[in-house]
Amino acid sequence: YAARQAFGNPALIREQTHEAWGWAPVERLAQDLLYALRSARRAPLLSSVAIIALALGIGLNAGVFTLLNTMFLKPPTLKDAPNFVQVYPRYSGWSMREDEYSFFTTEDYDAIRNRSHALDDVAAWQPSSDVLEEGNKPTATLLTTCNYFHTFGLRPAAGRLLQDSDDVQGASATAVMSYALWERDYARDPSVVGSTFRINTNPVTIVGIAPKQFYGDRMQSTPPAIYLPIQSMSVIRGEDFVHNPEARWLYLIGRVKPGTALAPLQVKLSVQLRQMFATNKFFSGVHRPLIDRVQVPLTPGGAGIQSMQDSYRSNLHLLQWIAGLVLLIACANVANLVL
């Protein structure tokens, strides 16, 4: 009886075949899509308003969430992020500089790197803005020590990274280009490596491309596009803080051994820095008593300096609430239109 009914009813045969092969859901989806298109054609104005309202609400929320995810939930971090610390000298008790953080001189950096065994490695840098002749526009640059990329355990996307021979006085000016700039302005052209660019009208040879998704050691709105050795400062910018023993201009980031407690390390580095400052000309005479007030606080450096997070946290949270409200209003408007 079932066979006679099946053979005598083609629609039943198709239905049973579709269910056997799992085609029924696909067919129902196709029917729903066709029905939606027919409904949209019958009321084009209503459909257009509904689609635009939902697109704006969903698009705004997706954009805001992407920004929040990048800055707070999953910020760009360094490889082995927990093993990095930001190093600053703090001159507690100084007039006009009570508990302020400061910078290091080049001599301080050399002494800490060569004589301090508390840190596995230390790199120094100073951000600046220089004019790249290509496009004649200000470009975010970073003056770095030769071991900057090595400290982070990075490899170049193309060419090579900075090395010791690039960071000596009198060496030809070299630089590393960021992957973002290489991709955006030069379409990842391999001929960029080895080419000569002009920065502040001075010729600079691009020796390599930084790794993809590396934006420096800190979070900032304008990440470095060009990385230069600190020795090129006198040529590129016409200033020579590198060989000035009193110029405090360098940020420091250090790598510590896994599991190292920061509190004892801070005390050890503070003692070592005071010993180094004992032979510094700046701390001679009336400034001698200030040596005992020098401290070296350490802060986690794996996700970079978090000042950007602190500055924009409340604004971004407010923006997220506004975006959610916009989506809610869009949904309410669509429901009202349908009614």
pLDDT digits (tens, 9 = 90+) for 170-215: 888 999 999 999 999 999 999 999 999 999 889 999 999 999 888 8
How many whole angstroms separate alpha carbon 296 and alpha carbon 270? 5
Which of 43-57, 138-152, 308-322 is predicted least confidently?
308-322
What pTM did the predictor assign? 0.68
The string over 137-167, giving b where at least 16 C-beta atoms fall within 10 Å of a residue's C-beta and e elsewhere, is eebbbbbbbbbbbebbeeebbbbebbeeebb
Give the pLDDT of residue 6: 44
Burial of 269 from C-beta contacts in 10 A (0-12 / 13-18 / 19+): buried
- Please give the residue that has the higher pLDDT: either 294 or 45: 45
Angle, vertex CA 172, rays to CA 170 and CA 174, nearest 5: 130
